[in-house]
Structure 1
Amino acid sequence: MNSTFVANSPAQNEDTTIRNDGWWPDLDLSDFKADYRIATDNDDDRLSQVVIAAILEINSVAADWKKRQEATDLSSVPAPQIDGESEKVILYRNAVFYRAKSLLVAGRRDHDTTNSGHDRANRLDDSNDEWMRMSTDSVNNLTDRKRFDAELL
């Protein structure tokens, strides 16, 4: 008796678009995976959950700014075009994807109690902080929040 077993990789959803609320743009998981070097051990279901969580956070943070807009959707808000795309749409996508990457990094924090485990966890914390900072900067730019420098006396 001769049998052959072939292991198949987990099926990935063919439609990788995450539908937003109609005002904010839909986002594509394939863009997130390609642009942010997402590890292949993250399946589309996990990535979808993380990107949806990031969308909810960014939409909430920018809700007051959105209410002040007279446009029918984000791409209609007056803004410079970069390579044929609204600067506002680019900033929104970056804010969401940076936040999603931060959530992924935070979820990978190692619980190893060895010195090498602590070092790796500290590097992940630094990386997580950097992704969150970039997300916050993108939201601030999107919503026209001015940054300022404070000087201690």
Structure 2
Amino acid sequence: MRMNEGVEWALHSCLNLGWLGPERAVTAGRLAAFYGLPPAYLNKQLQALARAGILTSTSGPRGGFRLARDLDAITLLDVVVAIEGPDEAFRCTQILRQGPGGDPAADYLKLCVISQAMGRADLAWRRELAGQTLADIRATVERGYPDTPERTREWFATVAG
């Protein structure tokens, strides 16, 4: 499975917004400039986060994006689902129905060992993502790179845009 790059961009943008604090809205263009990303494409990701209730969006000259919830209330799964959608990574099309001895009336979603194994793997992946918040990620970053929050705030305070 491969997630689109918008998931990475969204996660980093949320982390940066967490360091900037809830009082400050940041435009998609400024968030994109921080990493040299295409603003229009990042804006699509940020709008998806706003639709999911992870960010709020305000228009106008002092507008932009803010976190709608604290980082400890946003899981990695929340962000992935906002960007990628809620569908499972594996989709069983029940091809066993067409194989020799296939039963057109059987529910192969429940009978197929491959479908069951893939469903368990998807569930384990989702549980892992749901078990980690952006506050957990923030804490890990701050332990390993303690100057990151202040450097991020300084960049947004001093770089024009």
Normalised to the residue count of structure 2, the TM-score between the two structures is 0.28
Q: Which structure: larger Rg?
A: 2
Name whichever structure is richer in helix by fraction: 2
Higher relative contact order (CA 8 A, sep 6+): 2
Normalised to the residue count of structure 1, the TM-score between the two structures is 0.29
